[in-house]
Amino acid sequence: MGDSYKSLSYSFRVAPNTISLIVYETCETIITEYMEEVIECPMTPNGWKKVTKGFADQWNFHNTIGAIDRKHIAMSAPERCGSYYYNYKGFHSIVLLALVDSKYKFIYADVGANGASSDAGMFLNTDLRSTLEDNRIGLPPRHPLPGDDHPIPYFIVEDEAFGPKD
């Protein structure tokens, strides 16, 4: 389930502030080494077509480039943070926002927003949103749904917490 820096400092006979540096550096190293192997976000039309094919084949949901949601990760409140990390569920948290493919494999992740942020507010501050808006993500051109000839844009499936779109 996890451990505290204080408990780890007793186990390894290392000061808690040193443990915190080691944990941070270790996490950064893991992310740097494995991020592109584990989380592959397509950046070409052919890459996105593979994702949309998965949604079409498995869920009969066409033109879908991913499903997005967030998960609150419980944490102890940092000193003097007030309600900054306190979420609507009644505990302190940081947030994981993830875009997944049709088999629930992460294709994009953003971690670290405070628990008090909204789904829509968190999404507004992601690289994913800016690359979608600037059309730098490599989506294919609009494509008609089966049995139709009117092209529609590709889209992300989300719940109502992300708010209405234009």
Q: Which residues contact 154 (CB under 8 A, 6 or more apart)?
A: 48, 52, 63, 64, 65, 139, 140, 142, 143
Angle in degrees, 0-180, between the axes of helices 5-12 and 16-38, rounded to the nearest 10? 110
For residue 2, pLDDT over 80 is answered with no
- Sorted by where each begins, the domain ranges of the chain are 1-38, 40-162
Query: What tens digit of pLDDT does each residue of 42-51 get?
Result: 999 999 999 9
CB 124 within 8 A of CB 132: no
Backbone angles phi, psi at 110, to 5 degrees: -135, 125
Element (H, E) at 110: strand 106-114
H-assigned helices in 78-126: 119-124
Q: Predicted confidence band at 56 (pLDDT cuts at 50, 70, 90)?
A: very high
> pTM for the whole thing?
0.76
69-91 pLDDT, tens digit each: 988 888 888 888 888 888 888 88
Helical ranges in the chain per DSSP H: 5-12, 16-38, 45-59, 119-124, 127-133
Percent above pLDDT 70 for the chain: 95
